[in-house]
Each structure stands twice: as C-alpha cells, then as structure tokens.
Amino acid sequence: MPLSLAERAVQVLTTADGRAKCALSRAHAADWFAARAAGTPLPIGKATPPDAPARPARPELLDPRDVPRRRPGSPTGRIALLHAVAHIELNAVDLHWDIIARFTDQPMPLGFYDDWVKAADEESKHFNLMADCLEALGSHYGAMPAHAGMWRAAADTAADLHGRLAVVPMVLEARGLDVTPGMIDLFRKAGESGPVEALEVIYAEEVGHVAYGSKWFNWLCGRDGSDPKEVFHRLVRHYFHGTLKPPFNEEKRADAGLPPDFYWPLTEDQDSVA
C-alpha cells in the first residue's frame, strides 16, 4: 500500500529544514501526479497534522514589531525583502500541505487535492528560487530574523475549511498579487535581474493559488446552497484580524475569480459598515 497523500503531507509539515522540506514536497507532488496520470490515484487517507509545522533553528522568529526595518532601496534592504519573501514561501508550502491533511473528514473531489498539491509544489519552487537569490547575494535563508505568527491564520481556521479558503488563498495570497509588481519594479530599478525573474515566476503562479481558493470556496458554498459573497464577508470578519488594504490588483484578482464586491466591503471596519 503506497503512503497516503495525508501521510505525505504530514511528513512535509514535520520536516524542519527549508531545502529538505521543499525537496520532499516536490517528490510527493511528482508521485501524486504520476499516479494520477497512470489512473491509479494515491489514497487520500487520514493523518494528524501537527498544530504548527516544524521550523529550522534559524531564522529567529520575532514579533513583527521587533523585526528591524531596513530601507528597501538599499542593498541590505533588498536582501531583507527577499528573505521576507522566502519566509512567506516556506510558510505557504506548509499551508498547502496542511489544507490537504487537515480536512480529509470532508468528502472532496480529487481535483481539490490536485490543485493544492500543485500549489504546494509551486511554493516549494518559490522557496528554492528565493533561497537561490539570497545565496547569489552572499546571504541565505536564516541569516536575518523573520516574522513569527505566520501560522496564526492556519491555527484560527483549523476547524473550518470555508474559513481556511477565505482567509489563506482569498485574502493573504491575494494580497501577494497586490504587492508583488512593486517588488519586481524595485529589483528592476536596482538592475538585479535574478530576483526580477524569480519574482515574475512567483507572480504568475500565485494567480493560480488564489483561483484555486475562490474555485473551491464557491464550490463548497454551492454544495451548501449558501451565498458565497455573504459567507466570505462573514468569515473574513470573523477570522481575519484587521481590514483589507487597497490599492488592489483588480485585474489579477479578476483573473483569479475574485470580484470587487468580495473585497471592497472588507476595507471598512465592521462597526462603520453596520
């Protein structure tokens, strides 16, 4: 009996080292898609994902208020930016394997697993790209402190698949679509083509992850007979701390199936809306 997809997900989540986590993630994704192509899908299975994923000893994880701010225009500032993106990508690898392992009690079509395995594979590539860029600039992932609390959204939505999809792909990953063009510009102006190329790969593939989120969120609401927009507003207000911040990348959000009436109402406090 091959190892189930859920057990493989837990293996990734419990691997601490970034490069090792991503290598395992990519190997499991290749196995999943090879089995799918052969018409003999791996069993989804059941497993108990850890409350939080394993993390390497470095970077030191600090409260966001304590992470030193650096000018983005300086060489150190640009390295710090790549380091922050590497940290986000590593967290994203775990987020996608976690959604695979955590909600197996709900019957979902195989396409749900196809999408999140593909997203996890892409995040693993993204982490490797950012780690390569850092190393090319004489640094490495772990060389500077990073934000603690990245797992909060996952912990808050550990018992709610609708909530997980609303907050992680449809709010947090959608935010990545808003800010990545500015980052690409910054590296382009600095004449650093390696980070420009890597961030362009990330930007293109992240549209897909947001699209998977809205696709499966709408699918679940369709199965329940509920109004996706109303459910989205309720869940984001419940699980997400703070309001959404414009400017939004309306075009890429539209490509990802996120219409303006999903996110614009969430730019205001609930109190001022009510």
- Single out the residue of 97, 100, 91, 88 nearest to residue 120, CA to CA: 97
Using DSSP, state whether 38 is helix, strand or coil: coil
Asked if 217 contacts 165 with a C-beta cutoff of 8 angstroms, the reply is yes
Q: How many CA atoms lie within 13 A of 183 on its CB side?
A: 25
Specify the stretch interacting with Fe ion by CB under 5 A; choose among 76-84, 87-95, 99-107, 144-152: 87-95
- Cβ nearer to Fe ion, comparing 7 with 176: 176
Q: How far is the CB of 202 from Fe ion (least distance, A)?
A: 5
Distance between CA atoms of 66 and 144, rounded to whole angstroms?
12
Binding-site string for Fe ion from residue 107 to residue 126, where x marks contact by CB under 5 A and - marks none: ----------------x--x
Candidate ranges 17-25, 84-92, 108-116, 233-241; the one touching Fe ion (CB under 5 A): 84-92
Q: Nearest approach, Cβ of 240 to Fe ion (angstroms)?
A: 17
Task: Single out the residue of 273, 274, 248 nearest to residue 260, CA to CA.
Answer: 248
Nearer to Fe ion, 92 or 235 (CB): 92
Looking at beta carbons, which residue is closest to Fe ion? 209
- Residue 133, classified by CB atoms within 10 Å of its CB into exposed (0-12), middle (13-18) or buried (19+), is buried
Residue 54 and residue 21: Cα distance in Å, rounded?
A: 9
Least separation in angstroms between CB 117 and Fe ion: 13
- Contact with Fe ion (CB under 5 A) among 8, 26, 209, 252: 209
The CB-of-56 to Fe ion minimum distance in angstroms stands at 18
Binding to Fe ion (CB under 5 A) within 115-174 occurs at 123, 126, 173
Query: Can you say whether the dihedral through the CA atoms of 2, 3, 6, 11 is positive or negative?
Result: negative
Residue 89 or 94: which CB sits closer to Fe ion? Answer: 89
Number of residues that bind Fe ion (CB under 5 A): 7
To Fe ion, the closest distance from the beta carbon of 206 in angstroms equals: 5
Q: What is the smallest separation between the CB atom of 119 and Fe ion, expressed in angstroms?
A: 6
The residue ranges of DSSP E strands in the chain, in sequence order, are 61-62, 146-147
The footprint of Fe ion (CB under 5 A) covers 89, 92, 123, 126, 173, 206, 209
